[in-house]
Amino acid sequence: MPAVNNTDLTIRIIKNSNIPPDIDSAIREGLVECFPKDRKHFSRQRSWHSTPEWILYAITADGMVAAHIAVVERSVIVGPSSIQVKVAGLQSIFVRPRWRKTELSDRIMKIALDESRNRGLEAGLLFCREVLAGKVYGRMGWKKVDANVFMVNDEGKRIPRPEKDIAMSIPLAIEKFPEGDIDLHGPDW
C-alpha cells in the first residue's frame, strides 16, 4: 500500500444537524470499518446514547471520511462538592486504518479540543477501551479518571456507567479535572 499523507485531507467542523446525507453515510462507513463488532448499530446511526452538537471530520478529495470525532456538550457534576464542569464529551472517534500512524489522530484531536475550548467548554471527557488509554489518548495528554461515573439509562434511572470502557479527561479551560465521582446528568455518549 502506498504511503498516505494526512495533509491531503480537508478537515471540517459542522453542526450535527447540518450534516448532509453523503457525509453521514461516509462517516457511518468509517465507523463500521473501525468498529466491525458494532456494524449493525453504526450502519444505521453515528452515535450511541447522546446526539452530538457538532462533529469534526477529515475527508479526502473523493469523499471518503478518513477520521471523525463527534462532540456532546454537557455540564456534568463532579466530586463530593458537586462541582459543575462544562465538558466536551467525545464520541465515535475513529481514524481509518489507512491513515493510522500518520499523526492524523493527534491532528484532529488538537483541532477538536481547540474548538471545544473556543466554545467555552472546560474539559474533555471520553470513554475508551483500556488498550487505547495509554497507547493513543494518554500520549495526547488525556488522563484516566479514577472515579465512578453515573449516567441515566433508557428508563430514566441514574445508574453506574458500564465498566467495559474507562473514563479519561483532559483540562481545557480549567487547570485540572476535579477529583471524585462523575454524574453525567443524562445518558453517556
Q: What domains lie within the chain, and their CATH numbers?
A: 6-183 (3.40.630.30)
With 0-12 CB in 10 A as exposed, 13-18 as middle and 19+ as buried, what is 99?
buried
The pLDDT of residue 164 is: 83
User: pTM of the prediction?
Assistant: 0.91
Q: Three-class SS of residue 174?
A: coil
pLDDT at 2: 41
Report pLDDT for 6: 61
Per-residue pLDDT in tens (0 to 9) along the chain, 189 residues: 344 556 689 999 999 999 999 999 999 999 999 999 999 999 999 998 899 999 999 999 999 999 999 999 999 999 999 999 999 999 999 999 999 999 999 999 999 999 999 999 999 999 998 888 888 999 999 999 999 999 999 899 999 998 889 999 999 999 999 999 999 999 999
